[in-house]
Structure 1
Amino acid sequence: MDSAQLYRMLVFANVVEQGSLTAAADELGISRSMVSQHLKKLEQRCDTKLLQRTTRKMALTEDGQQLYHHCAELLLLAKQAEETTQPKNKELRGRITISTPICFGEKFITPHIGEFHQEFPKIQINVQLDDRRMNRLEDNVDIAIQNESHAPTDSAFIKLGQFDEYMVATPEYVKQHGSPLHPDMLLDHQWLLQTASYLPQSFLLKNSYGDTFTIKVPPFICCNSRHAIAQIAKQGVGIAILPSYLVDAEIAQGELTHILPDYHLNETDVYAIHPFNSAIPPRVKAFLEFIQLKLKTAYNN
């Protein structure tokens, strides 16, 4: 292997880790067109397509994913060699795109962005708060935080935590309408649900003895925002189904009452899903480790 081919591999690894040709060019101190030429020659030498590029996105092909795994090791070795004569605290840089459900992101992700920036001031972050599932490939998402009942099978992932969903209402609502003592009694109540229509929603309840009950209730008030549903619930309008992390404090303070606490809705796991398999770019790995620590602290509290 000649030195030119080795350099092309380092250029390729930089493009993947920086997230774009322009950012890689800035990191390497060469022009964007030169980066493009090196990639083209590398693909010709490897006789395969390594990157799928359009004006909106860039994604690794399957062959590109395999080659990047090895090129990333070369880049790491090069950086380690360079650090023997340079300071070891060289700052990470590049861009990270993160998608997360709105409530979870506002509760656990965005409050810590400032602290992450203090630690890694040259990493740019794009946080997309959206309850809809984003296409991780088309939207060029580095980390997708998703609620799943089972571990994902289509990507690499890290489990961040777990939460329950509670049925809650204000003490005033319960006093006026009565406290349900059995799932059958839930049908007589007004429901505040996260949905876009008035179609009835089905929920599975399970008690500590393993008995299961399915209830199907129509929304009295529906909304596409869990935060808004929580706000409406605190006005005493009806019973809402909300994630535990959104209502734990209100239940502890007596602002909301946990309805039928012996009956559980589905437990939901939270995963950070990424497309990098074992060759995770350092900037992405830094954020994953950072947010894991933050969420571990939050769940332990």
Structure 2
Amino acid sequence: MDRLTEMEAFATVVDQGGFTDAARKLGISKSAVSKHVSSLEARLGARLLNRTTRRVSPTDIGLIYYDRARRVLNDAGEADSIVTAMQSEPSGMLRMSVPTDFGVSYLSTMIGQFMQNYPEVTVNMVLKNRHVELISEGFDMAIRIGEQEDSSLRARRFCQTTQRLVASPEYLARQGRPARIDDLTDHRLLHYSTQASGNVWKITAPTGELRQVRSSGWLTVNDGRSLLDAAVAGLGIAYLPSFLYHEALREGLVEDVIPDLPREVQGIYAVYPPGRFTQPKVRAFIDFLVERFADLGPDTW
């Protein structure tokens, strides 16, 4: 006989307190339940149930076996549920945290197509420039840029971007072009106010050394698009990702300030909580991102 069937019959007898109620619960005959339990006891060579005319109860060995058997049965049931869930259509609320610049520039224009593809999914996209706590703050997933420090989360890279120093031709003609990283201290620098390290840029020198440029910043803003606008207007030098500056660079509104610097390539990731399986709505959106960004980045946007 099937081992799981025997386990299920035995565990149900214990749960229901007798063969009659167990048979009703399982939807089979009382004699079939008795046959399964007897076969299990014969195979194990142990008596698992005390049988009287009034009640049925597990023996000491039977109680220990019941605890283990119930775990196995629960795991088997969960495995079946996972397969069912994995094959089900994505549905429900998808709540995600997205960096403001990336969300405004790209996801906000793409999200409509995803929702048309999956009409049973509703989306709550929260634009934030800080890393949220996914589980405690109730998020299904997040988009994050750069090195992933939280190793407890699952992450899938779907694109890359670069970081470059950019400024308008007018600013460089007026203030001069810095030849080295050290020259930046003599220039007007435009900073993100949300940087955890303060107004500090970490830039890789041509030698491969990681340098830090500290400045109070002539202008500090918590929005990358505003920093780009300020750079285009000739207010100073900004350190921005390619998904923000690419169009202005192509149109000649800004220039690469120190072209000899190595490219600073950063991954763009979909991160989500760890678990035995990924929710269909999360999996569907990540697959959507991978498809839509297949031909974008790190320099081509």
Q: TM-score, normalised by structure 1?
A: 0.68
Structure 1 pair 227/117, CA: closer, same or farther in 2 (3 Å)?
same
Deviations 1:182-225 (A, max 9, x none): 1222111111111169x973323324443454322220011111
Match of 1:222 in 2: 220
- Decide whether the 8 Å contact of 1:109 with 1:291 is kept in 2: no
- Unpaired runs of 5+ in structure 1? 7-46, 48-62, 81-89
1:229-271 CA deviation, whole Å, 9 max, x = no partner? 1111111111111111100111111010111021147432222
The aligned amino acid for 1:242 is L
Partner of 2:80: 73
What amino acid is aligned across from residue 78 of structure 2 in structure 1? C
Residue 283 of structure 1: how far off its partner (Å): 1.5
Moved over 4 A (4+): 2-6, 67-70, 77-80
2:294 to 283, 293, 296: 296
Letter in 2 for 1:149: E
Matches within 5 A, 1:247-258: 247-258=245-256
**Structure 2 unmatched ranges of 5 or more:** 1-7, 13-21, 27-66
Cα displacement (A) at 1:117: 1.1
CA 1:262–1:225 in 2, change beyond 3 Å: closer, same or farther? same
Checking the alignment, whether the CA contact within 8 Å between 2:85 and 2:280 is kept in structure 1 is no
2:138 is the counterpart of 1:140: yes
Q: CA 1:77–1:214 in structure 2 vs 1: closer, same or farther (change >3 Å)?
A: closer
Q: Distance in 2 between matches of 1:196 and 1:92?
A: 34
- CA distance, structure 1, for counterparts of residue 194 and residue 277 of structure 2: 40
For residue 124 of structure 2, what is the amino acid of its counterpart? N
Alignment root-mean-square deviation, CA: 3.2
Match of 1:118 among 116, 119, 142: 116
Letter in 2 for 1:188: D
Alpha-carbon separation, structure 1, partners of 2:120 and 2:85: 20
Assess, with a 3 A threshold, how the Cα gap between structure 1 residues 150 and 280 changes in structure 2: closer, same or farther. closer
1:122-176 deviation line (CA, Å, top 9, x unaligned): 1011100100221211221111111232464111111122222111111011111
Distance in 1 separating the partners of 2:189 and 2:126: 29
In structure 2, what is the Cα distance between the partners aligned to 1:110 and 1:91?
Answer: 23
Whichever residue aligns with residue 288 of structure 1, its letter is I
Q: Which residue of 2 aligns with 1:94?
A: 92
Secondary structure of the structure 1 residue equivalent to 2:289: helix
Give distance in 2, aligned partners of 1:99 and 1:225: 16
Letter in 1 for 2:152: D
Per the alignment, do residues 78 and 191 of structure 1 end up closer, same or farther by CA in structure 2, a change over 3 Å counting?
closer
Aligned 8 A contact 1:108 1:295 in 2: no
Q: Which amino acid aligns with 1:148?
A: G
Partner of 1:178: 176
Q: Is the 8 A contact 1:68 1:279 kept in 2?
A: no
Which of 125, 128, 140 is the matching residue for 1:127? 125
Amino acid at match of 1:248: H
Count of equivalent residues: 234
CA distance in 2, matches of 1:245, 1:228: 14
> Quick one: distance in 2 between partners of 1:134 and 1:114?
24
Question: Which of 208, 230, 233 is the equivalent residue of 1:232?
Answer: 230
Structure 2 residue matching 1:263: 3-state secondary structure:
coil
TM-score normalised by length of structure 2: 0.68
